[in-house]
Amino acid sequence: MSKKFESLKKLVAENEIKMLDLKFQDFPGQWQHFSMPIAMMDETLLEEGAGFDGSSIRGWQGINESDMLVIPDPESVFIDPFMKPKTLSLICDVVNPLTKEKYSRCPRHIAQKAEDYLKSTGIADTAFFGPEAEFFIFDNVQFELSENSAFYFVDSKEGRWNSGRDEEPNLGHKPPYKGGYFPVPPLDAINDIRGEMVMVMQECGLNVEYHHHEVATGGQCEIDLRFDSLMKMADSLMLYKYIVKNVALRQNQTVTFMPKPLYNDNGSGMHVHQSLWKNGKPLFAGTEYASVSELALHYIGGILKHASALTAITNPTLNSYKRLVPGFEAPVNLAYSQRNRSAAIRIPMYSSNPKTKRIEVRFPDPSTNPYFAFSAMLMAGLDGILNKIDPGEPIDKNIYDLPPEELTNIPTTPGSLEEALDALENDYDFLLKGDVFTEDVIETWISYKRENEIKPARLYPTPVEFDLYYDV
């Protein structure tokens, strides 16, 4: 009996586990799963996997090639806090049943290849990522699309729009629009539910740094995970989303990671802290601007050079580009700076300790597939290092206040998902190095987004169009 299987058996016995749940990620970035009695867990399952229909998963196999395998990763184990029969959960890799090779479109496999490629370059042996995912907790959400109607409606007891509603009684504690950053209760009415989310995360092995209310009214939140290596952090972020949504559900509330669910208030971003290490030593600390190394500046140069293409992956929804607009603290300008939160890349200056030196890429949002996003940003950064890409001069002014003549010299993020996909189509060679991403993965991503998101959205009239044009 292998040590890994023996450890799982011990966990099963000590916790009286009844079921085994196998989780894996589809192509766009959602977890999928199926369960079985715990008696089905044996060493064969860990080595050979379990079969499923790959044609039923978004962006994967055709129906003529539907048979696929999932291979559980014993190191990903946690006891699922939401399933009634006590359940052991494992995250899986996806494998071709004929060749026994990992599936090229499996997001987890791409993250593994990105880490392998990093080591092969000799530049570093570890890439650390620390995402700051934002989300909204709502009390009600309704939406519908049909041939003759379309609407959405979201609501929150702490939404400023409810300041005049009769709530028997209305106690008036509603964060102002753009005024929800860091208030204490009772203005922060969702502190306790965030605390419960953090407690469950810790029970499942996640390392949480802190949580707080975010800028927008109506239940915007942030919970930050402590940095970890690329694939471990991608696994952790998937578990984070799972926990946040299900803790809210059992409180009869609902969570969305949609970047811009509210008009005229801040959207939800996911600032991603990044650093490279080798032999236990940080590589981003140095004597250049903001006390970073030349290597870090070149990493920044790679991110900025490929930023437009990256957004097709890091900001992968139509809704993402309703957040990436001026005036709502979204970093639309592709520049870098120390401390300056209006830049697309910020160099935090909280500490002089070299181990804390990192960069913060601020344009991604939490709708992204984290395995793809972290891998793509690493590949762009490495391309910058290998080709010594100069990031240009930093901008320490408030970019939002710059006059038009100065702004014209600063490139910006794409204005739509369509523009971002066009940019990716014209700039993806850096992603192919080390066979991390493949031509098939890039082409499938672009075609999936165009066919399943951009094309349908073009056909639907919206309430805004009725407001503007009904009387023409």
Query: Looking at the annotation, which residues are catalytic?
Result: 53, 132, 134, 214, 222, 271, 341, 360, 362
CA-to-CA distance for 3 and 41, rounded, in angstroms?
Answer: 15
Are 85 and 18 in contact by the 8 Å Cβ rule? The answer is yes
Instruction: Report the candidate in 322, 317, 267 with the shortest Cα–Cα distance to residue 133.
Output: 267
Residue 134, SS3? strand
Here the tokens at position 423 are: 């940019």
Q: From CA 208, how far away is CA 3, in angstroms rounded? A: 29
Burial level of 161, CB count in 10 A (0-12/13-18/19+)? middle
DSSP 225-247: EPPEEHHHHHHHHHHHHHHHHHH
> Residue 13 burial (CB < 10 Å; 0-12/13-18/19+)?
exposed
Nearest to residue 358, comparing CAs of 398, 300, 301, 406?
300
Given a contact cutoff of 8 angstroms between Cβ atoms, the answer to whether 215 and 180 are in contact is yes
Q: Are 23 and 204 in contact (CB under 8 A)?
A: no
Pairing of strands 345-347, 336-338: parallel
SS3 content of the chain, % helix, strand, coil (to 5): 40, 20, 40
| Environment class of 169 (CB within 10 Å of its CB; exposed 0-12, middle 13-18, buried 19+) | exposed
Contact 24, 94 (CB under 8 A): yes
Residue with the two structure tokens 């609902």: 254
